[in-house]
Amino acid sequence: MRPARTTAIAALAAVAFVTPGLAQPAKKKPAAPAASAQADPNVDLAYGAYQRGFYLTALAEATKRAKQNDPIAMTLLGEIYAKGLGVGRDDKKAAEWYRLAASHGNRNAMFALAMLDFEGRNGPRNPDEAAKLLAQAANLGHVAAQYDLGLLYLQGQQFPQDFKRAAQLFRAAADAGNPEAQYALATMYKEGSGVPKDIAEAMKLMGLASIAGNLDAMVEYGIAQFNGQGVPKNEAAAARLLVKAANRGSPIAQNRLARILMAGRGMPANPTQAIKWHIISKAGGASDPEIDLFASKQTPEVRAAAEKAAKKWLADARTVPHS
């Protein structure tokens, strides 16, 4: 695991820029900003324009607010320059706006500036300064910063390795709904690292992360369901979950799905599909001599159909990722 390298400022700023009732993105992009929006005090023009893709309007409106020492507007300006939205990408200007917003206590700006420092987009890479910013943002409740800071403590980077502190940070982010933190903390409970070993708690967190779409969690939770380890045994539910993970490209899930289809446990046996997923998982680096032997005993027609299906899936995956 390593710290995330994305800012997600736009999503995090949504709640701050508009009232809760207006925080949802528009279902379709309008041809131009609605004139009536300017008369509505509940609509923030800067973020509303940003949300709809009118970046120059967002830039102009945010600049007005930034002159009034509005740290949220400063953060939005940093985002616009960092991503080159409507203007040329300018990391120097982005860093300046993020730094100014951070000096006003904006946790989103602290996190964004940390990412620039990690990536070397704010001068030479400066992981030490980035770690300090992560710590500041995490202390202010920034969920992604809590997760990333936990990784630094877990790996012993910029801070002495401290599994207990990592677990505390993962817990804070996990409780806020971060699936990566839920998976990381689940792994720590599973191994008894930084927290008491607790398989039931590990599987509870793994299940939450799985529901949220964390691919590693989906695979581990599916295997746990199939074997009845820490969760009630349910081969059919496990098979459905492993199908999803396999289609998202997990070689481990693809291998387990091939075994399920070979044995007919959790879903009906299907030699063609079993060999198909075996071929796909092997392409991802997951070999399995037992399924090789199974495939060798099938008819040429079955093997040919499986190879054709696998070839098509792999070709599609290179152009349009499966979901």
Q: What percent of the chain has pLDDT over 90?
A: 83
Which tokens in the block code for residue 322? 């499966």
Alpha-carbon 300 to chain mean position? 42
Write out pLDDT tens, residues 101-111: 999 999 999 99
Q: Which CATH class is domain 1-125?
A: mainly alpha
Write out pLDDT tens, residues 276-294: 999 999 999 999 999 999 9
Running DSSP on this structure, what letter comes out for residue 35?
A: G
The CATH topology of domain 213-323 is 1.25.40
pLDDT at position 42 is 39
CATH code 1.25.40.10 region(s) in the chain = 1-125, 213-323
Residue whose C-alpha is closest to residue 294's, from 271, 318, 270, 264 = 271
Instruction: Calculate mean pLDDT across residues 190-215.
Output: 97
Write out pLDDT tens, residues 252-270: 999 999 999 999 999 999 9
Stated pTM of the model: 0.81
Residue whose C-alpha is closest to residue 96's, from 115, 118, 77, 73 = 77
Instruction: Calculate mean pLDDT across residues 164-180.
Output: 98
Selected residue with higher pLDDT from 224 and 14: 224
pLDDT at position 157 is 87
Q: At what angle do helices 179-191 and 143-155 cross, to 10 degrees?
A: 30
Compute the distance between CA of residue 197 and CA of residue 89 in angstroms, rounded to an integer.
Answer: 47
> Residue 38: which pLDDT band, with cuts at 50, 70 and 90?
very low
Q: At what angle do helices 143-155 and 163-175 cross, to 10 degrees?
A: 160
Compute the distance between CA of residue 73 and CA of residue 106 in angstroms, rounded to an integer.
Answer: 10
